[in-house]
Chain A
Amino acid sequence: MELKELQTAWSQLSQQLNKQEKLTNEIILKMTQDKYRNKFKTLNTYETVGAVVCYIISLFVIINFYKLDTWYLQLCGVITLGFLTIMPTLVLRSLKKIKNLDIIKGTYRETLITYTKEKNHLLKLQQIGIAFSFLLMFIVVPVTSKIISNKNIFHTQPEPIQWFAVVVALLFVTVITRWGYRSYKKITDNAAEVLKDLEA
Chain B
Amino acid sequence: MGKETVFANLIREHQGLLFKVTSIYTNNKEDQEDLFQEVVYQLWKYFDTFRNESKISTWMYRVAMNTAITQLKKSKRNSNSVPITEVILNRSETKNDVLEERLKLLYQQIQDLNPLEKGLMLLLLEDKSYKEMAQITGLSESNVGTRISRIKAKLKKNMAK
- Bound form: Cα–Cα A9–B42 in Å: 29
- Bound form: Cα–Cα A104–B43 in Å: 9
Evaluate whether A38 and B138 lie within 8 angstroms (CB atoms) in the complex, with A1-B105, A23-B15 already known: no
- Bound form: Cα–Cα A22–B16 in Å: 11
Task: Tell me whether A27 and B82 are in contact (CB under 8 A).
Answer: yes
Please give, as numbers and ranges, the residues of chain B lying within 8 Å of A9 by CB-CB distance: 99, 102-103, 106
Please give, as numbers and ranges, the residues of chain A lying within 8 Å of B55 by CB-CB distance: none
Minimal beta-carbon separation of A6 from chain B (angstroms): 5
- Bound form: Cα–Cα A106–B46 in Å: 13
Chain B window 81-108, contacts with chain A (Cβ cutoff 8 Å), 1 for yes, 0 for no: 1101001100101101001001101100
How many A-B contacts if CB must be within 8 Å? 175
Task: Tell me whether B94 and A16 are in contact (CB under 8 A).
Answer: yes
Please give, as numbers and ranges, the residues of chain A lying within 8 Å of B135 by CB-CB distance: 107
Please give, as numbers and ranges, the residues of chain A lying within 8 Å of B40 by CB-CB distance: 28, 31-32
B4 at the interface (CB under 8 A from A): yes
Interface size grouping (class) on chain B? 35 or more
Using a CB–CB cutoff of 8 Å, the interface residues on chain B facing chain A are: 4-5, 7-9, 11-12, 15-16, 19-20, 34, 36-38, 40-42, 44-46, 49, 62-63, 65-67, 69-72, 74-78, 80-82, 84, 87-88, 91, 93-94, 96, 99, 102-103, 105-106, 109, 114-116, 119, 124-127, 135-139, 152, 155-156, 159
Using a CB–CB cutoff of 8 Å, the interface residues on chain A facing chain B are: 1-3, 5-14, 16-25, 27-32, 34-43, 98, 101, 103-104, 106-112, 115, 119, 194, 197-198
